[in-house]
Homo-oligomer: A and B are copies of this chain.
Amino acid sequence: MTIQVTLVQIDNYGPWTVTPEPRREMDLQTLQSRLFADVAQFLGHRDAYVFSTRFDNMIAVTNGVDGAAHATLQESIGNRYPVSISLATGVAARPIDALEAANERLQIEGSAQDEGRTEVLSGEYLSETDRSDIQIAHFDVVDATGKYTDRLNEFDTYSTIQAAYGSLMRYLRRKHGALAFFVGGDNVIAVCPDLPERAFNAAVDHVAADVEVALQVGVGRGSSAHEAGFAAKHALEDCRHDGTSVELFGAPAAGD
């Protein structure tokens, strides 16, 4: 299992947002979400995943995307936006270690708010990919519509989902060095190291005990984020179909 992670960072963004005076918030929101959408399209079409995270910093799983493609992405954003981006890439067995390696490459070049440090492109890229390089878990709240969306006000629903996400994210990070991201609705996608089925059962149990939200999770593997994530989505459909709470793609979850 080898994961290639890319950190996408907008260069010197903080100062730009308030120079010469604060910019309209909805323009910043539009800029940020369109930039994310463009990166998602670029990487998505290469079977990679990117997560919006803090929007000024985004985390991507880029197995199969080489340095030349990273350079093209950087140039294209620079040509079309009033801001530029830096890209740093790392490789490791655990997602968190790959991200650490990527981050260090960027931090060594200077601060995120250093005017002189722009368009860094630094990284190591996997030259080969393997069918089982990546394991992705797609978590989802059981019956979110019936329990929350159709009953509570949206802020309280959101708050509940965020609490579940926070609990899950911190658990997976601490326990396994996995990176979990909220992707909208009631969905969380976790990029994992090599984990057995019982680890997912334990995660679901942890969240249920911690914040009383019932999760179900599909788990998949593949040579790219898309392949692993797609298998995970199909496995999640199996949970829905069979009423199970964990499904590994290809095999029913033990105890379900």
Q: Given A37-B34, A75-B24, check contact A53 B111 (CB 8 Å).
A: no
| CA–CA, A41 and B150, complex, Å | 28
Determine whether A128 belongs to the interface, using a CB cutoff of 8 Å to chain B.
no
A103 nearest CB across to chain B (Å): 4
Which B residues lie within 8 Å of A57 (CB)? Answer: 149, 154, 157-158
Considering residues A7, A26, A42, A57, which has the most beta carbons from chain B within 10 angstroms of its beta carbon? A26
Q: Which residues of A, 122-167, contact B by the 8 Å Cβ criterion? A: 145-146, 149-159, 161-163, 166
Q: Given A76-B41, A166-B163, check contact A155 B24 (CB 8 Å).
A: no
Q: How many copies does the complex hold?
A: 4
Inter-subunit contact A44/B24 (CB<8 Å): yes
Determine whether A221 belongs to the interface, using a CB cutoff of 8 Å to chain B.
no
A140 and chain B: residue at smallest CB distance: B14
Determine whether A170 belongs to the interface, using a CB cutoff of 8 Å to chain B.
yes
Determine whether A194 belongs to the interface, using a CB cutoff of 8 Å to chain B.
no
Which B residues lie within 8 Å of A55 (CB)? Answer: 184-185
Could you say which of B31, B52, B229 contacts A25, with CB atoms under 8 Å apart? Answer: B229
A138 and chain B: residue at smallest CB distance: B25
Q: Given A13-B185, A76-B41, A153-B99, check contact A26 B49 (CB 8 Å).
A: yes
Q: Given A44-B30, A173-B159, check contact A54 B226 (CB 8 Å).
A: no
| CA–CA, A155 and B17, complex, Å | 23
A45 and chain B: residue at smallest CB distance: B72
| CA–CA, A121 and B159, complex, Å | 25
A235 nearest CB across to chain B (Å): 10
A107 and chain B: residue at smallest CB distance: B150
Residues of A bordering B, CB below 8 Å: 7, 9, 13-14, 17-18, 21-34, 36-38, 40-45, 48-50, 52-57, 59, 69, 72-73, 75-76, 79-82, 96, 99-100, 103, 107, 111-113, 145-146, 149-159, 161-163, 166, 169-170, 173, 179, 183-186, 189, 226, 229-230, 233-234, 236-237
